[in-house]
Amino acid sequence: MKSTYKQQIIIVGAGPAGLMAAFSAAQAGASVLILEKMKRPGLKLLASGGGRCNLTNVLPQQEFMKAFGRNGRFMRDALNSFSRDDLLEWMRAQKVDVDCVDGFYYFPAAARSSVVLEAMVQVCQENGVKFRLGEKVEKLVATKEAIQGVQVAGGKVIYGKAVILACGGKSYSKLGGSSIGYQLAEQAGHKIIMPVPGMVGLKTIERWPSCCTGISLDKVRISIDIKKYRKQYFEGALVFTQDGISGPAVVDISANVNELLLEEESVPVNVSFFPEKKEDEISGMLKKLLEENPRKKLSNIISLIFPAALAAALCDYAGDLAGVTGAGGIKAAGLPGKVFKSLNNILLSCPLWVNANQGFEKAMVTRGGADLKGIYPKTMESRLKQHLYFAGEVVNLDGPCGGYNLQWAFSSGYLAGQSAALEASQ
């Protein structure tokens, strides 16, 4: 069965990239139809930033792109078309006040993602964008050279002059994340880089972190203990979980770790508990604590600088690595030198082995997706099929937490919508 309802531009996905693409295309004069498989638009947007929606940050464009790694240069044209300043101005034009309260991250002043989503849906509707929610796209309709439309569940075909894939990645599966975008891209001949969870908690072989579940540290430094990665590290908060570690510093490095887990059974990481201190400073701090408390048990002494459960776990871990059982119960005056050295090393750089992650259902972004080599960065159009465009997380481009991925979604969506509308008008 074929549909006679012909929209100029069809957008698959009603997340931030899809909504911005719809607005951009409609503003450029195109008629636009958004197809979204969920019953509501923007569910992942509502969950972003812990429900507060970290829109972007203050970094200059060059540094912003660098945070995305070797693929960051691909973003240049999208960021030029819709920059951070453009985004902030656009939000204010939609009556969404934006604050940079900490000098780096931009959030809506209301501290609620819902105000951003409501504004985006409203401005799309005001510009004539049509929404069909609960509509699952199953196939692209195409000739050898070009895309003509999409087929939805039930076999119905909807034709359009251009199709924009803005259906995201596999992250947050309960909120609509899936592999459909990759399947559609593959139908058009695009190579898919193996998706792995990004911005997700990591599971460790060591069991002691489970004894510290819920304990958080404000600032640590974490790195992958492999030569190629040792100069690359992330700093931020760390949270111990029932099966490993999480928190901003951990989720920022998680995609790199998960890529390695495709080939390795486990990946070594190091956690620096005092990233601002040098080795001799940590050693001096530890010696002073022991000298001042000679009759106290080691775990009680370390609890002066860490929560008690974490102090006990670290002391016992240090003992295990030194071959001394129950090190946390040894008094400072009788502490073996090898335990001191082991504990000193742990405080400087605590070794852990990661063997799994919390999965796509808890991942905030996806690493992987449509290979950037198959997409024109100046337009976001496919190099393989005419009239097919990409926006947002569906492509192989992801950044750390802190407004990076939402800015990319908005910028790539804006450019894709603008480009598709221009093509549709010709």
pLDDT of residue 175: 87
Q: What mean pLDDT is predicted for residues 61-67? A: 97
Give yes or no for residue 403 having a pLDDT over 90: yes
Q: What mean pLDDT is predicted for residues 197-224? A: 97
Give yes or no for residue 305 having a pLDDT over 50: yes
pLDDT of residue 279: 94
Between vectors from CA 243 to CA 241 and to CA 245, what angle results, nearest 5°? 50
Give yes or no for residue 42 having a pLDDT over 60: yes
pLDDT digits (tens, 9 = 90+) for 341-368: 999 999 999 999 999 999 999 999 999 9
Confidence of residue 218 (pLDDT cuts 50, 70, 90): very high
> In the chain, what percentage of residues exceed pLDDT 70?
99
Confidence of residue 240 (pLDDT cuts 50, 70, 90): very high
Q: What mean pLDDT is predicted for residues 412-421? A: 98
Beta-bridge partners for 12: 35, 165
Superfamily designation of domain 7-197+367-424: FAD/NAD(P)-binding domain (3.50.50.60)
Pairing of strands 202-204, 244-246: antiparallel
Q: Which of 3, 4, 36 is nearest to 129 (CA)?
A: 36
Which residues does 384 contact at the CB level (< 8 Å), separation at least 6?
188, 189, 190, 374
pLDDT of residue 1: 43
Pairing of strands 350-357, 56-57: unpaired
pLDDT of residue 4: 43
Q: What mean pLDDT is predicted for residues 182-205? A: 98
Give yes or no for residue 297 having a pLDDT over 70: yes
Give yes or no for residue 6 having a pLDDT over 80: no
Give yes or no for residue 5 having a pLDDT over 60: no
- Mean pLDDT across the chain, nearest whole number? 96
Q: What mean pLDDT is predicted for residues 52-66? A: 97
Confidence of residue 165 (pLDDT cuts 50, 70, 90): very high
Alpha-carbon 103 to chain mean position: 21
Q: What mean pLDDT is predicted for residues 141-168? A: 96
pLDDT of residue 174: 86
Confidence of residue 426 (pLDDT cuts 50, 70, 90): confident
Angstrom distance (rounded) from CA 383 to CA 14 = 24
Residue 407 token pair = 């800015």
pLDDT of residue 7: 74
Confidence of residue 156 (pLDDT cuts 50, 70, 90): very high
Q: Residue ranges per domain, the chain?
A: 7-197+367-424, 201-358
Beta-bridge partners for 159: 149
Stretch (H or E) spanning 91: helix 84-93
Q: What mean pLDDT is predicted for residues 253-279? A: 97
Residue 414 token pair = 């804006």
Q: Are 37 and 191 in contact (CB under 8 A)?
A: no
Q: What mean pLDDT is predicted for residues 281-289? A: 97
Beta-bridge partners for 36: 133
Q: Are 20 and 78 in contact (CB under 8 A)?
A: no
First to last CA, the chain: 28
Query: Phi and psi for 335 in degrees, rounded to 5?
Result: -70, 125
Give yes or no for residue 172 having a pLDDT over 90: no
Measured torsion, CA atoms of residues 33, 35, 38, 43, in degrees rounded to the nearest 10 = -60
